[in-house]
Amino acid sequence: MHSRHGNLALDAPHALHSGLLQWARRARSELAEDLARARSAQAEEEHFAHVQAQRTTTF
């Protein structure tokens, strides 16, 4: 029979590792969402600037 202490010593690094992996995945998906939002905002701004430029040159 294993001692509880021995199991904890083996489980701790694994628990830490899986916790870090979960945190990293969550952080990466949040970063990806932020990047997508920023890109879409930038695209809107560029489109607006382009439309404004066309209006000023056309009229």
pLDDT tens for residues 1-49? 455 555 666 678 888 899 999 999 999 999 999 999 999 999 999 999 9
Number of H helices, E strands in the chain: 1, 0
- The Cα–Cα gap between 44 and 37 comes to 11
Give one word for 3, left, alpha or beta, with left for phi > 0 and alpha for psi -120 to 50: beta
**Overall domain count for the chain:** 1
Return the pLDDT at 18.
92
Please state the pTM of the whole predicted model.
0.57
Domain ranges, residue 30: 1-59
For 59, the token pair is 């009229």
- The Cα–Cα gap between 35 and 25 comes to 15
- 55 or 28, greater pLDDT: 28
- The Cα–Cα gap between 53 and 55 comes to 5
